[in-house]
């Protein structure tokens, strides 16, 4: 057993008392670092549809008709992208398909229809892209290894069989389309590469590229439908186009609205022997949440999810409503443990809204941090890119556990207590070195409250996990 494996071969037993003052219960939690799973790429969110302007402070959107001050703009950026907050490392930008820049549309880089797929398009870039250029730069300043995933919600309307970027429709040229203007697949691929080039000229590297968003839906805003066969029809054009370009950008597909909508699309792409063109299999969590792993050896990212219902609530634990922090702590943990994801992205990071899309609410010049933000932070702050998930098993239904070993040899163990009593967890390790162990508690009262955990020698330490709370144990 390696030193690291040794350090992490933990056996934890938990003594707990139930809420009715009854018998203390005990649980066994075993963390076995010799059993390793997927690599962790990171956590993040999007500020598409001009939501980046909310953080930038360039658009007054709340009824207060006031924007974030430069001070609070910096505060939000620091909360999102530095150790002061969640230390997120993935930003999902939106690639526009709209002909105007009216709020909250995403402007296309081909605002005028060139008339035919073979005509030379006139590319235009306003160097702002709904403040996403600014945000990408600010994020990168704070998070040098930031990963940017640029995703298109639709091709421009003139490339589609319904003539608009909205209301679904398909890219002309894929199976089932019969467009008078012809096959626009190459033109769309060229446009996406040109988008990457415009960002490169701003000094911003686009690491990942997506050409679909929720292709299982036709919505009133930018949307383009695609099954797996139609996605394959485009992948066979996009992949070589990107390969010929100077960019090393990797391809993501297909950002379906739910997990079960992705499964048949992946199978259809595999049937065409085109899975190799897709670096990351991507899906959202809305219509069907992450469940069992996809049948793929490629990495999987959950790239968009939030509880869209009103009203905004920053609460950790009240009635287990779908927007509460403790619920999201479990959503994130389940995705890593049960669905084998390598990344987990919220819909929005910070914006003004009346619902629960963002993790941080901007109202005029105020900044309100939800407990969902701190739930995410448990996974993004103590687990870092390149980490490996390692095996964590709990014998108690009340204690949900996961663990990751970081590239620097530190490890983070996430314990969520959904029960009504405090669990006094006695960790037993097979390791003799006394590591420095800190715990971080989040519940209704605290946000990542740090405590030092005493190492008792011979591989044991114990820590308390209060009822309805989440504690990260970080071994440094
Ligand atoms: C909002 O504020 C701006 C600038 O301070 C001002 O020009 C505009 O008239 C205001 N709008 C409303 C609806 O109050
Ligand atoms: C989990 O994902 C990795 C790729 O990151 C893959 O190699 C592995 O086979 C997946 N495991 C399961 C159970 O799907
Ligand atoms: C808890 O939930 C109840 C019922 O939905 C609601 O009336 C109350 O405002 C909630 N409390 C908090 C702090 O969110
Ligand atoms: C910034 O946000 C805080 C917290 O919401 C608020 O109290 C403050 O007035 C805002 N503005 C400045 C300039 O600090
Ligand atoms: C915790 O207590 C609440 C009511 O107070 C009850 O509805 C719930 O089932 C209990 N949860 C557990 C895990 O015992
Ligand atoms: C304006 C228009 O033609 N919209 C159509 C785009 O395509 C979708 C689905 O194919 C239709 O539902 C819309 O009516």
The contacts found for 262-266 with CB under 8 angstroms, 24 or more apart, are: 262/294, 263/294, 263/295, 264/227, 264/228, 265/215, 265/226, 265/227, 265/228, 265/231, 266/228, 266/294, 266/295, 266/296
Cα-to-centroid distance, 366 and ligand 4 (Å): 5
**One domain for residues 353 and 459:** no
Cα-to-centroid distance, 369 and ligand 3 (Å): 18
CB 289 within 8 A of CB 261: no
- Measured distance CA(345)–CA(194) in Å, rounded: 25
Sequence-distant (6+) residues with CB within 8 A of 63 are none
Looking at residue 409, what is its pLDDT?
Answer: 87
Domain with 404 in it = 3-39+389-475
**One domain for residues 87 and 15:** no
Looking at residue 248, what is its pLDDT?
Answer: 98
Pocket lining for ligand 3, CB < 6 angstroms: 313, 315, 318-319
**One domain for residues 26 and 127:** no
Cα-to-centroid distance, 64 and ligand 1 (Å): 9
Cα-to-centroid distance, 322 and ligand 3 (Å): 13
**One domain for residues 179 and 115:** yes
- For 320, other C-beta atoms within 10 Å of its C-beta total 11
Q: Which atom of ligand 3 is nearest the CA belonging to 313?
A: 14
Last residue of a domain, one of 337, 352, 382: 382
Q: How many domains does the chain have?
A: 2
C-alpha distance from residue 164 to each of 155, 171, 172, 222, 253 (Å): 9, 11, 12, 8, 22
Which of 311, 318, 327, 468 has most ligand 3 atoms within 8 Å of its beta carbon, as the pocket-test mutant?
Answer: 318
Does the C-beta of 456 come closer than 6 Å to ligand 6?
Answer: no
**One domain for residues 209 and 353:** yes
**One domain for residues 110 and 189:** yes
Cα-to-centroid distance, 422 and ligand 5 (Å): 13
**One domain for residues 110 and 82:** yes
**One domain for residues 89 and 110:** yes
- Measured distance CA(380)–CA(377) in Å, rounded: 5
Nearest to 212 by CA among 276, 274, 278, 141: 278
Last residue of a domain, one of 382, 405, 426: 382
Looking at residue 458, what is its pLDDT?
Answer: 65
Average confidence (pLDDT) per 10 residues, the chain, 476 residues: 37 37 59 91 98 96 93 98 98 98 97 97 98 99 98 98 98 98 98 99 98 98 98 99 98 99 98 98 98 98 96 97 98 98 99 97 97 98 97 90 92 95 76 74 98 81 92 92
Which of 317, 330, 419, 420 has most ligand 5 atoms within 8 Å of its beta carbon, as the pocket-test mutant?
Answer: 420
Cα-to-centroid distance, 386 and ligand 2 (Å): 15
- Measured distance CA(176)–CA(206) in Å, rounded: 31
Cα-to-centroid distance, 28 and ligand 5 (Å): 21
**CATH number for 227:** 3.20.20.80
Pocket lining for ligand 1, CB < 6 angstroms: 60, 65
**CATH number for 9:** 2.60.40.1180
Q: Which atom of ligand 4 is nearest the CA belonging to 72?
A: 1
Residue nearest to atom 7 of ligand 6 (CA): 169
Nearest to 95 by CA among 171, 228, 167, 194: 194
At 412, list the tokens.
Answer: 């983070």
**One domain for residues 419 and 366:** no
Last residue of a domain, one of 382, 410, 434: 382
CB 238 within 8 A of CB 189: yes
Looking at residue 22, what is its pLDDT?
Answer: 36
Residue nearest to atom 6 of ligand 5 (CA): 420
Cα-to-centroid distance, 345 and ligand 4 (Å): 27
**One domain for residues 22 and 79:** no
Cα-to-centroid distance, 295 and ligand 2 (Å): 8
Cα 320 from chain centre: 22
Residue 210 DSSP one-character state: E
**One domain for residues 280 and 318:** yes
Q: Which atom of ligand 1 is nearest the CA belonging to 65?
A: 1
Which of 167, 171, 180 has most ligand 6 atoms within 8 Å of its beta carbon, as the pocket-test mutant?
Answer: 167
Looking at residue 15, what is its pLDDT?
Answer: 35
Phi, psi of 184, rounded to the nearest 5 degrees:
-100, 10
**One domain for residues 204 and 284:** yes
Which of 160, 165, 168, 230 has most ligand 6 atoms within 8 Å of its beta carbon, as the pocket-test mutant?
Answer: 168
């Amino acid at each position: 057993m390696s030193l690291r494996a040794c350090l992490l071969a933990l056996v934890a037993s938990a003594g707990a008392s139930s809420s009715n003052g009854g018998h203390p219960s005990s649980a066994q939690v075993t963390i076995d670092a010799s059993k390793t799973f997927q690599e962790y790429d990171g956590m993040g969110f999007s500020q598409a549809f001009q939501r980046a302007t909310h953080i930038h402070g360039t658009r007054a959107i709340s009824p207060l008709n006031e924007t974030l001050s430069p001070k609070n703009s910096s505060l939000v950026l620091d909360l999102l992208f530095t150790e002061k907050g969640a230390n997120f490392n993935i930003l999902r930008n939106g690639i526009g398909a709209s002909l105007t820049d009216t709020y909250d549309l995403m402007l296309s880089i081909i605002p005028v229809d060139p008339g035919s797929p073979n005509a030379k398009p006139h590319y235009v870039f306003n160097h702002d892209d709904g403040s996403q250029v600014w945000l990408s730069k600010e994020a990168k300043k704070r998070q040098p290894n930031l990963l940017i995933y640029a995703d298109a919600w639709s091709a421009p309307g003139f490339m589609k069989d319904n003539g608009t970027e909205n209301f679904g429709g398909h890219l002309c040229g894929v199976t089932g389309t019969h467009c008078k203007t012809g096959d626009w697949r190459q033109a769309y691929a060229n446009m996406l590469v040109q988008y990457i080039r415009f960002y490169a000229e701003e000094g911003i590297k686009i690491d990942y590229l997506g050409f679909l968003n929720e292709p299982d839906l036709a919505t009133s805003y930018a949307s383009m439908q695609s099954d797996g066969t139609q996605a394959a029809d485009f992948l066979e054009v996009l992949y070589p186009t990107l390969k010929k370009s100077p960019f090393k950008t990797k391809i993501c597909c297909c950002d379906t609205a739910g997990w079960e909508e992705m499964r048949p699309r992946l199978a259809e792409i595999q049937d065409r022997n085109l899975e190799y063109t897709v670096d990351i299999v991507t899906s959202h969590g809305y219509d069907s949440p992450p469940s069992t792993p996809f049948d793929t050896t490629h990495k999987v990212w959950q790239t968009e999810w939030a509880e869209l219902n009103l009203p905004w609530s920053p609460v950790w634990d009240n009635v287990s409503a779908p927007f509460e922090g403790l619920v999201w702590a479990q959503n994130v943990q389940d995705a890593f443990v049960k669905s084998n994801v390598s990344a987990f992205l919220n819909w929005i990071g910070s914006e003004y809204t009346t619902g629960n899309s963002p993790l941080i609410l901007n109202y005029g010049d105020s900044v309100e941090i939800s407990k969902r933000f701190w739930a995410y932070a448990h996974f993004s702050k103590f687990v870092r890119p390149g980490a490996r998930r390692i095996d964590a098993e709990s014998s108690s239904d009340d204690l949900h556990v996961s663990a990751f070993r970081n590239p620097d040899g530190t490890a983070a163990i996430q314990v969520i207590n959904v029960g009504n009593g405090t669990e006094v967890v006695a960790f037993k390790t097979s390791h003799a070195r006394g590591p420095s162990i800190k715990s971080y508690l989040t519940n209704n009262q605290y946000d990542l409250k740090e405590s030092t955990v005493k190492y008792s020698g011979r591989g044991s330490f114990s820590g308390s996990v209060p009822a309805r709370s989440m504690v990260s144990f970080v071994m440094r």
